[in-house]
Structure 1
Amino acid sequence: MPKNKGKGGKNRKRGKNEADDEKRELIFKEDGQEYAQVQRMLGNGRCEATCIDGTKRLCHIRGKMHKKVWIAAGDIVLVGLRDYQDDKADVILKYMPDEARLLKAYGELPENIRLNEGVANVLDEEDERDVDDYIEFEDEDIDRI
């Protein structure tokens, strides 16, 4: 029998998310940083995000957040801009949905940005109008077909 040399299995490596319940201080952007909304995840610790200044950038998720903070499309993140590459940035922080709402209330985020709080199947006003668009057939029309 081989001797166990590790300290535990994969459940130990996952850890416990006890720190999620605590309220953390809201962090605002500084010089060289920008707010962004994730458009899509690309894999390999990267994502495509649209910054508030209107630039679409390829963002790298920093190692401290990798496999610990899960980022999805539509999330609001704080990215650090690069001096030497304007089309690339680094994800520094992911804002929780309530923090993103606070940023929008403080005027840090523009009003036209749509916060995706993870609520599925939320209809826009446009979508509600599309729901009512249906064709009603009479029984006679069906018989002729």
Structure 2
Amino acid sequence: MSDNEGRKDLRMPDDDEVFAVVVDMLGANRVRVRCMDGVERTARIPGKMQKRIWIREDDVVLVEPWDWQDEKADITWRYDKQEADQLREEGHIQE
């Protein structure tokens, strides 16, 4: 048995995406996120995610910062708890 048996292949960020942790729920499909590049942004939950995926504080998400307004972003992916713990263990996310 390898020590890697519980590891799943997780979706990693594309070139224009960053890991982020949800800090605050703002309402109206918006959340405040702290991105791993050191910037706090207002992120938008896109319509295709709104009813299917529930996003809560302290969730780990992937965001795509807007290229014309750096303080805003769109959420592209949400990790579940096991995946988030794995990302923290592997050092992708610093609290």
TM-score range relative to shorter protein: 0.7 to 0.9
The answer to whether structure 1 residue 77 and structure 2 residue 55 are counterparts is: no
Q: In structure 2, what residue type is equivalent to 1:93?
A: W
Deviation at 1:106, TM superposition (A): 2.0
Deviations 1:58-90 (A, max 9, x none): 000011111211111111110011111100000
| Structure 1 unmatched ranges of 5 or more | 1-23, 114-145
So what's the TM-score if we normalise by structure 1?
A: 0.58
Residue 46 of structure 1: which of 17, 24, 30 is its match?
30
The answer to whether structure 1 residue 28 and structure 2 residue 36 are counterparts is: no
Deviation at 1:33, TM superposition (A): 0.4
Distance 2:93 2:52 in 1: 25
Residue 46 of structure 2: aligned partner? 62
Structure with greater strand share of residues: 2
Distance 1:67 1:54 in 2: 29
Distance 1:32 1:90 in 2: 11
Q: Which has the higher contact order (CA 8 A, sep 6+)?
A: 2
CA RMSD of aligned residues (A): 1.3
Distance 1:45 1:34 in 2: 19
| Structure 2 unmatched ranges of 5 or more | 1-7
4+ residue runs of structure 1 moved beyond 4 angstroms? none
Structure with greater helix share of residues: 1
1:1-145 to 2 correspondences below 5 Å: 25-110=9-94, 113=95
Distance 1:59 1:68 in 2: 17
CA contact (8 A) 1:79 1:89 kept: yes
So what's the TM-score if we normalise by structure 2?
A: 0.86
Deviation at 1:34, TM superposition (A): 0.4
